[in-house]
Amino acid sequence: MDEAGLISDAKRGDLDAFNRLVLAHQTKVFNLAYRISGDPDVAADATQEAFLSAYRKLRGFRGGSFRAWLYRIVTNACYDELRRRKRRPAASIEAIEEDSASENGVGSMTSLFGGEEGPESAVERSELRRAIERCLGRLPPEFRTVVVMADILALDYKEVAASVGAPIGTVRSRLARARARLRECLEASRELSMPGERLADGMSS
């Protein structure tokens, strides 16, 4: 059944239909939550809360991009979860990253990344990934969200605008400024030069 049919059934209370939508979107939703929060536990909680919230609010969905509607819910759930955890003493994102690094890739966070790699490639990619994640984490949340949506989830500007509830012009401006800040951050961490060239070469080929 297509997505519209599943949404229609789920609106009538068909939980199985809704769960098929969950299975279709959960990876992107979880990735969005993880990239916004930088914490797998926050991301898992926000994802679960977002799907519950979406199920309850489904009758209010009036068409348009279902994934943009879902992403908006999970983004808000992430912000709520981060605010809630900020009020309690908890390990920072950077502390989690350091813990993961000290465990040579076998920590809870790195275990989420799949795939077997050769030793050199794994080290390079791991360093680059950590640098990008660190720089993403330093962006203001509204900048980080548009970068994740546009560059990681590959949403177009219209969908990003619908997901964050802002005009397209604002999305365009935030995205450009976020990319410029990321460039500065990555240059400062000296992580971009070699891998960046390699990636640029890869892109042009």
Is residue 161 a contact partner of residue 145, using CB atoms and an 8 Å limit?
A: no
- Of 82 and 153, nearer to other proteins (C-beta) is 153
- Of 89 and 205, nearer to other proteins (C-beta) is 205
How large is the angle between the packed helices 119-138 and 168-188, nearest 10 degrees? 130
**6 is an interface residue for other proteins by CB under 8 A:** no
CA 99 – CA 40 distance, rounded (Å): 13
Give the nearest distance from C-beta 69 to other proteins in angstroms.
Answer: 16
**Quick one: tokens of 18?**
């809704």
CA 54 – CA 60 distance, rounded (Å): 9
CA 196 – CA 79 distance, rounded (Å): 31
Pattern 89-118, other proteins, x by CB under 8 A: -----------------------xxxx---
Give the nearest distance from C-beta 152 to other proteins in angstroms.
Answer: 6
CA distances from 6 to 14, 38, 47, 65 (A): 9, 31, 20, 14
Binding site for other proteins (CB under 8 A): 15, 18-19, 22-23, 26-27, 29-31, 34-35, 40, 44, 47-48, 51-52, 55-56, 112-115, 125, 128-129, 132-133, 136, 147, 150-152, 154, 156-157, 172-173, 175-177, 179-180, 182-184, 186, 192, 195-197, 199-200, 202-203
